[in-house]
Amino acid sequence: MSFERNMICVLIVCVSAVQFAQGLRINMTMFSNCQDVKLPYDEMPVSLETVRFDRDADGVCDTLHAEYEVRQTSDDVEWELIITTYQCAQQTDKICLDNPKEYIEPMHCDRFHSDDSGPWFFIANSMTNGDRCGRFTGRYNLDAAVMKIKYLEQYIAMGKGTYRVRMLFHIPGTNLDTLNVRGCCEMDFDVID
């Protein structure tokens, strides 16, 4: 009987956690090129040029529109994505750099556009024109990029608070001292009721 009671308790806790997470929303406060990644070359091969946020009647933003530029092309559609997450208590007065965690994801153009289990899909799903894999130079759009909690659950223990996520795309097996970074973006957001 004790085993059954324990299983019921576990089930109740799991259902409560899912219901709690479903009631949470993301409020994006910043999306830009990485500000603190210093590289020995002048320009990133791929970078954000403009960003515009859509806000609802409460001033909450989970959707943005942006333009990005591909300055240098590459036929290599395999790279590594270094995701760094930061998690802080709810705040508005400083940048969240507490509790850093780093994840390295092997990435390929096909996975980038088909795997919705990570924050990269927020970008990939909103690419509406161009090659979408960085094989042609030009200026392209991110239309109605929506950040969903499900893109972050694997990397962040979700709960109310302030977060930063950095995504650095680079060629595998190299370091930042060589011309290997394709692009780097970061976003700040609050998770709210």
Query: Is pLDDT at 191 greater than 60 in this prediction?
Result: yes
- What is the CATH architecture assignment of 2-192? Distorted Sandwich (2.70)
pLDDT digits (tens, 9 = 90+) for 127-171: 989 888 888 999 999 999 999 999 999 999 888 999 999 999 988
**112 touches 80 (CB < 8 A):** no
∠ CA 96-101-106, nearest 5°, is 125
Q: What is the pLDDT of residue 14?
A: 41
Beta-bridge partner residues of 78: 108
Query: Is pLDDT at 6 greater than 50 in this prediction?
Result: no
Q: What is the pLDDT of residue 182?
A: 87
Higher pLDDT, 15 or 71: 71
What mean pLDDT do residues 172-183 have?
72
DSSP string, 124-179: HTTB-SS-SSS-S-EEEEEEEEE--GGGTTTTS--SSEEEEEEEEEE-TT--TTSS
Q: What is the pLDDT of residue 133?
A: 86
Query: Is pLDDT at 40 greater than 80 in this prediction?
Result: no
